[in-house]
Structure 1
Amino acid sequence: MNRITISLPNGKTLETAPGTRAIDFIDALTDDPSSVYAIRMSNKISSLNKALNSDCSVEPVVAKSKDGAEVYRRTLCFVMEAAMHEIDPNYHLMIGHSLGYGYYYTLADGNGIHPPLIEKLKVKMAELIAKNLPINTYAVCYEQAIDILEKQGLTDTRNLLRYKCPPAVHMNTLGDFTEMYFAPMLVSTGYLKTWEIIKYGNGFLLRFPTSQDPDHLPEFHDIPQLFNTYERYKKWGKQIGVTTAASLNEIVAKRKINDFILISETFQQKCIADIAQQIHDRKKVKLVLIAGPSSSGKTTSAKKLALELQAIGYTPKIISLDSYYIGRDKTPLDEDGKPNYECLEALNVQLINENLVDLFDGKEITLPEYDFKTGVSTITGPKLKLGDNDILIMEGIHGLNDKLTPSVKAANKFKLYLSPLTQLNFNEHNRISTSDNRLIRRIVRDSQFRGKPAAGTIAMWDSVQKGEKLYIFPFQNNADAILNTALDYELSVLKIFAEPLLKMITPMEKEYSEACRLLRFLNVFPTVDPTEVPERSILREFIGHSKFKY
């Protein structure tokens, strides 16, 4: 009889029959089976029900991990959708954006979700979880998948299969509810111990725990301006008829993508022009501070905003916060003993404020310069003096933190937060993560301009996000305006650059599981020729050939 060998994390091996599932030998993986949400099989994330048919290495994906948190959230959303289906199959939920540690949901028909329905949903969801029901994954033929999705009323998911036509389609089921498979889930509902649903806006928030503390919900911090920005873009998407990957596919198939690109770029430019007008209307603004997470398009946005300010009579001057690093020998160290260039203390805050006060008093200053090769800061930069119509633009991760510019009066500052807040969804129940959008931008840019392989970018992404959570996201509410830098066609362009880079990551590399996930993510999008991207588009910051100089 054939046998397969499974290599375990403790260095031991297990010989077993082909078809054995990870859940069958879970006790050999860990002392705490309840904390294992999935497995990493030869560096690919799979369900505990995955049948193993060849020699492989297997590691547990635990609750207290990024991968574990993603499996948990995905399953939580699926169980909630099944609960709503049991209440009334005619109710179709539509996932929106994330807010805090939660996802915003509305009804697909646009009607408000009233408290009595939300209470019914909570009760039904708790029932499904208490029963510890199995969540099954199975394959059906294409024709059967279409029939299932149409009967379930999952129109957007069904439309995805108009443009992606595999002979077999994997589906997830819970009771009478079935949905197309996108990524691994928990094997049963009983794992879902920590969650809540709260009324919010026209719908509700489904809240979940952090990866650091899977047993408790974090405190909810509302960010109304961010919510309003999302809602504006969602409304815009509905107006132009592009809200999902399927609707984008349809535009490409009908050869209307050129018009959509121009519409998207024009709308974004209008938003930038609106912000320039806000700055003008404030009258006393002398300093525009721009901040946002990695790959938000801050550099191009600053240049575009400068042009809009020029158009209404200002003369913008851009100062780089990178020039104000205090020097490698004075930079605080992180927990690993490495220089922490992302903390506020890595900047010469005193000099920043002295320079700003002098400039606003009409004095001439000499800007500092920082040599990234030697790690030395010197006051040898160009001289700068402000005229009557001059306005300063400063771009950097600490722009929203008032501790960066305590000597500048609030009336003289305008704080702008940037992020690619895509309003597109995959389908009714699967959203496109802002973080994934940024990571794909970063992978492409790092390859194009820094020669860094995709595995290297993925490997340092957790560290990048950690810095964002510490130094950027807590200050979002301080923003005077929020600019969405996403372009709803961009993933179809980035796909051309990113896919070959991700396919070069091998199963022997830890980053393979993330590469597989991102490739699945990109697979639903059509391709769009990069030559169609305007020369001054924010997207050019990542794919190259911009008319702006960086």
Structure 2
Amino acid sequence: MEKRLIQMAEKAQGDYSSPIVAVKLNGEVRDIQTPFSESDTISFIELNSSLGWKIYRRSVLFLLIAAVSKIEKNAEVIAKFTVNKGLYCEIKLPGREIDPAFIAKVDRTMRAMISENIPIIKHSIQRTEAIERFQKLGQSGKVNLLSELSQDIISIYTCEEYTDYLYGPMLYETKYLDRFELDHEPFGVLIRTPDERTHGQIRKRVSQPKFGSILAESKAWADILDCRFISDLNRINREQAIGELIRISEGLQEKRIAQIADHIASNREDVRLILIAGPSSSGKTSFAQRLRIQLRVNGLRPVMISLDDYFLNREDTPLNEKGLYDYESLDALDTKLFNQDMLALLAGQEVQIPRYNFITGMREWKEDAFLSIHSDQPIIIEGIHGLNEYLTKDIPRKNKYKIYISALTQLNIDAHNRIPTTEVRFLRRLVRDYQFRGAKALKSIRQWPDVRDGEEKYIFPFQEDADVLFNSALIYEIGVLKKYAVPLLEEIERGEEGYTEARLILRFLQYVNEISAIDDIPNNSILREFIGKSVFFS
């Protein structure tokens, strides 16, 4: 008789403080309906963990889609993006709009399914059989996705009469899925659930209209390019039309940068400080350089100042919870000197700009580091704290123009399977750190949780304070990054630290066909900051 992990999980549950939701089977994440053998290495994943809450959110999304299908067979749910501290899903209903009453009905249906404790059953079937099923259901995106896969056997999930293919494991009973809230949104719904930072509490809704608008713009760009899903990107690549896609993608970004520069130039008398901030690997440096060029086109002569030069001496740098120097903290910067210098520059005075020596951990004052500016010279400042008003607290708000930049991917795997923005940024960082810093994949994997914690503390809370948001994601970049990332991730062997994280990324990348048209990527592309041969980096 085939052994399944579910029985073992039920026996082990008493050793865990929260429900067991999945397992690491030989280092790879699997659901607990997976069969196993005596020789397998097994460790359980509980809900109260980063992986556990991701699995939980995926399961709640599955329940939502199943509930909508139960109410209206012809409804279409599309998982769009994370905003307002939840996941926004568009719902398309033939002949009617989505209103609060419909969302309330979905909520009641989901909670009824939870109270009935309906099993979510995993089936391993032939890929050809799955394709036939989804063809009958009219789910062309899923058909195209499955057609690209190489394996013969795939897993699908059923809940009552609803069947779906979701990327990654899910919980096996609906009774665990009661921690969620639904909010009606234009054309759809926002699902809010807990995560690893809320200690099991449902995220409170936070209105993010500016962030929402840039996410909507990113999806509009996908429509312009006729490339909404990974299968679309693979088709374009297969048809050797990827060069055109690259050029249009880059053209959309260049046009947006030019629009931002035009707006700054039209307010040149007031705007003197241009502050650029964003999370790790969002392409801030390349964006700043391209904006500088567009400002020159508008007759301005911007100068660039690095916030890194205003680090305190290492001995004065605050420590984080682990007792390490916290260079992510605003308190690591000499904000008093920074404000003093900026005010002096704006007043037409000459200022000696410090230079921070990262080897000695000391600020240096060099004779060739004096700076003064004229009225046609706005100051561009790039750094993670640019949106925090405290950084420039002594400078009038009208003299500041704040830009938030992030890589908000336009692609989905398919209608029900998103590609989280953090996944793409991690790939960028992984490739860049190896290309230019000689760092292996394991180091990037180890550092990523701390990077994410810093973003949550110091960047994301201020994104709505920006005057404009810019999306640095390029719709084709995943196929390019795959070429560089896969060999690095495959170096991590089973049993080594980071193996589980590496396998999760490799599993996601299996859906993407590698793009080899590297020469078609212009040398001023934001992507060049990560893969090399950028005109902005020596």
Range into which the TM-score falls when normalised by the shorter chain: over 0.9
Of 110-119 and 288-297, the range deviating more from structure 2 = 110-119
With over 3 angstroms needed to count, the CA separation of the structure-2 counterparts of 1:71 and 1:341, relative to structure 1, is same
Query: What residue is the counterpart of 2:482 in the other structure?
Result: 495
With over 3 angstroms needed to count, the CA separation of the structure-2 counterparts of 1:34 and 1:343, relative to structure 1, is closer
After superposition, residues 217-296 of structure 1 pair within 5 angstroms as: 217-283=202-268, 284-296=270-282
Q: Is the 8 A contact 2:442 2:498 kept in 1?
A: yes
Q: How many residues align?
A: 534
Q: CA RMSD in A?
A: 1.7
Give the partner amino acid of 1:172. Y
Is 1:454 the equivalent of 2:441?
yes
Query: What residue is the counterpart of 1:95 in the other structure?
Result: 79
Query: What residue is the counterpart of 1:338 in the other structure?
Result: 324
Of 508-517 and 74-83, the range deviating more from structure 2 = 508-517
Deviation at 1:30, TM superposition (A): 4.0
Q: Secondary structure at the match of 2:147?
A: coil
Deviation at 1:233, TM superposition (A): 2.0
Query: What residue is the counterpart of 1:523 in the other structure?
Result: 510
Give the partner amino acid of 1:301. F
Give the partner amino acid of 1:342. E
Query: What residue is the counterpart of 1:549 in the other structure?
Result: 537
Give the partner amino acid of 2:333. L
Query: What residue is the counterpart of 1:3 in the other structure?
Result: none
With over 3 angstroms needed to count, the CA separation of the structure-2 counterparts of 1:23 and 1:473, relative to structure 1, is farther
Query: What residue is the counterpart of 1:176 in the other structure?
Result: 161
Supply the distance in 2 between the matched residues of 1:468 and 1:363 (Cα, whole angstroms).
35
Query: What residue is the counterpart of 1:327 in the other structure?
Result: 313
After superposition, residues 65-464 of structure 1 pair within 5 angstroms as: 65-108=49-92, 112-283=97-268, 284-380=270-366, 382-464=369-451
Of 526-535 and 82-91, the range deviating more from structure 2 = 526-535
Give the partner amino acid of 2:401. F
Structure 2 runs not aligned, ≥5 long: none
Supply the distance in 2 between the matched residues of 1:114 and 1:311 (Cα, whole angstroms).
47
Query: What residue is the counterpart of 2:453 in the other structure?
Result: 466
1:239-273: CA deviation from partner (whole Å, max 9, x where unpaired): 33111111111111221110010000000111111
With over 3 angstroms needed to count, the CA separation of the structure-2 counterparts of 1:404 and 1:25, relative to structure 1, is closer
Q: Is the 8 A contact 1:101 1:209 kept in 2?
A: no
Supply the distance in 1 between the matched residues of 2:532 and 2:384 (Cα, whole angstroms).
23
Deviation at 1:231, TM superposition (A): 1.0
Of 53-62 and 508-517, the range deviating more from structure 2 = 53-62
Q: Is the 8 A contact 1:444 1:543 kept in 2?
A: yes
Q: Is the 8 A contact 1:194 1:214 kept in 2?
A: no
Deviation at 1:33, TM superposition (A): 7.0
Supply the distance in 2 between the matched residues of 1:451 and 1:332 (Cα, whole angstroms).
28
Give the partner amino acid of 1:71. I
Give the partner amino acid of 1:418. I
Q: Is the 8 A contact 1:416 1:480 kept in 2?
A: yes
Supply the distance in 1 between the matched residues of 2:407 and 2:198 (Cα, whole angstroms).
27
Structure 1 runs not aligned, ≥5 long: 1-16
With over 3 angstroms needed to count, the CA separation of the structure-2 counterparts of 1:375 and 1:396, relative to structure 1, is same
Supply the distance in 2 between the matched residues of 1:293 and 1:195 (Cα, whole angstroms).
27
Q: Is the 8 A contact 2:345 2:351 kept in 1?
A: yes
Deviation at 1:29, TM superposition (A): 5.5
Q: Is the 8 A contact 2:283 2:472 kept in 1?
A: yes
Supply the distance in 2 between the matched residues of 1:424 and 1:438 (Cα, whole angstroms).
14
Q: Is the 8 A contact 1:135 1:186 kept in 2?
A: yes
Supply the distance in 1 between the matched residues of 2:370 and 2:339 (Cα, whole angstroms).
16
Q: Is the 8 A contact 1:415 1:481 kept in 2?
A: yes
Q: Is the 8 A contact 1:97 1:423 kept in 2?
A: no
Deviation at 1:324, TM superposition (A): 0.6
Q: Is the 8 A contact 1:196 1:207 kept in 2?
A: yes
1:92-117: CA deviation from partner (whole Å, max 9, x where unpaired): 11111101431111125797422222
1:248-300: CA deviation from partner (whole Å, max 9, x where unpaired): 11111221110010000000111111111121233310010000000000000
Supply the distance in 2 between the matched residues of 1:185 and 1:201 (Cα, whole angstroms).
28
After superposition, residues 59-70 of structure 1 pair within 5 angstroms as: 59-70=43-54
Of 473-482 and 152-161, the range deviating more from structure 2 = 152-161
Supply the distance in 1 between the matched residues of 2:229 and 2:134 (Cα, whole angstroms).
16
Of 21-30 and 232-241, the range deviating more from structure 2 = 21-30
Q: Is the 8 A contact 1:149 1:155 kept in 2?
A: yes
Q: Is the 8 A contact 2:91 2:189 kept in 1?
A: no
Q: Name which of 521, 525, 530 aligns with 1:537.
A: 525
Is 1:49 the equivalent of 2:33?
yes
Query: What residue is the counterpart of 1:11 in the other structure?
Result: none
Deviation at 1:25, TM superposition (A): 4.5
Deviation at 1:234, TM superposition (A): 1.3
Supply the distance in 2 between the matched residues of 1:279 and 1:109 (Cα, whole angstroms).
42
Q: TM-score, normalised by structure 1?
A: 0.94
Query: What residue is the counterpart of 1:8 in the other structure?
Result: none
Percent of aligned positions with the same letter in both sequences? 35
Q: TM-score, normalised by structure 2?
A: 0.96
With over 3 angstroms needed to count, the CA separation of the structure-2 counterparts of 1:109 and 1:295, relative to structure 1, is farther
Supply the distance in 1 between the matched residues of 2:362 and 2:72 (Cα, whole angstroms).
66
Q: Is the 8 A contact 1:18 1:54 kept in 2?
A: no
Q: Is the 8 A contact 1:22 1:39 kept in 2?
A: no
Q: Is the 8 A contact 2:25 2:41 kept in 1?
A: yes
Q: Is the 8 A contact 1:317 1:391 kept in 2?
A: yes
Q: Is the 8 A contact 1:89 1:152 kept in 2?
A: no
Q: Is the 8 A contact 2:18 2:48 kept in 1?
A: no
Q: Is the 8 A contact 1:23 1:49 kept in 2?
A: no
Supply the distance in 1 between the matched residues of 2:507 and 2:137 (Cα, whole angstroms).
23
Q: Is the 8 A contact 1:29 1:59 kept in 2?
A: no
Q: Secondary structure at the match of 2:41?
A: strand
Q: Is the 8 A contact 2:431 2:530 kept in 1?
A: yes
